[in-house]
Amino acid sequence: MREGLAQVPIINALTVDVEDYFQVSAFAPHIARSTWDSRECRVESNVDRILAMLSAKQTNATFFTLGWLAERYPLLVRRIVQEGHELASHGYGHERASDLTETAFFEDIRRAKSLLEDISGVEVTGYRAPSFSIGESNLWAFDGLLRAGYRYSSSIYPIRHDHYGMPDSPRHVYQVRPGLLEVPITTVRLFKRNFPSSGGGYFRLLPYELSRWMLNRVNSTERQPGIFYFHPWEIDTGQPRIPGISSKTRFRHYVNIGRTEKRLNRLLSDFSWGRMDQIFLGKEKTPLPSTVVTA
């Protein structure tokens, strides 16, 4: 870069996986799907808190929303759109893509897309698989997404994890099918290994300064946007505690929940944020990142 020319600031993608505490995949063995309707639902008030926080910071985000919730809280879906955020799909019923047949997966993503569009009146172009459940064993899912009319997915986490992960996949946005982008969850590359640096439980567990350093490294060294994600239940200290879960699951779900909202506010101030479709699809004249890998 020539002396005197400043680098263009990187705009990172802020994403919210809109699901309630009782829909978390790790709780599936303990909470029957048939009981969902009888559970205390806290997602509406939690998303309202998130919308207020984003409004105060003049920040827009992408909300990957379950069709099951949209059906029950249509006004919440409309508020998301009315406040300038992108509405995207998290599937209908929070079933892991890896647990579904090709036919059942297609029906799930088609149903969710149609429902979200009917409620909101806007096109839904993005999808994120519950628990990042697209991997080497079900890459056929991308064919279903393309057929259903999606333009991008954010479903692969290129790390090793006991529940998900595809560590050898590309770390930054790439064309996974003609007309369909995969936007992987952000990792930082250190010691020939990918480390999570994009939200969720890691953001709650690690010191904030470390999370900030990792995202800044991706921005400044690789000149790539980060994709950060979190869930509404991660700011909810009053959510019901689920009995009978393992100590590992309890730790992962509840660790540092009381600190998340404060950390999110710091994150919003320390970096520039935007919507997935604006950053990666070029909507509202926002260009694609300088490096796009083609699979």
Q: What token pair was written down for 22?
A: 């009782």
Residue 126's domain is classified under what CATH number?
3.20.20.370
Q: How many domains are there within the chain?
A: 1
pLDDT tens for each residue of 165-205:
577 889 899 999 999 999 999 999 888 888 877 888 889 99
Note whether residue 98 is domain-resident.
yes
Check: CB of residue 150 under 8 Å from CB of residue 122: no
Note whether residue 80 is domain-resident.
yes
**Residue 169: what residue type?**
S
Domain that holds residue 224: 11-294
Note whether residue 223 is domain-resident.
yes
**Stronger pLDDT, 154 or 191, i.e. the higher one:** 154
Prediction pTM value: 0.92
Note whether residue 21 is domain-resident.
yes
Note whether residue 101 is domain-resident.
yes
Distance between CA atoms of residues 191 and 210, nearest Å: 16
Work out the angle at residue 267's Cα, subtended by the Cα atoms of residues 173 and 261, and round it to the nearest 5 degrees.
115
Written as one string, the DSSP assignment of 255-289 is: TTHHHHHHHHHHHHHHSEEE-HHHHHS-GGGPPPP
Note whether residue 2 is domain-resident.
no
Note whether residue 3 is domain-resident.
no
Residue 293 confidence (pLDDT) above 60: no
Q: Mean pLDDT throughout 120-130?
A: 98
Q: Mean pLDDT throughout 44-66?
A: 98
Note whether residue 1 is domain-resident.
no
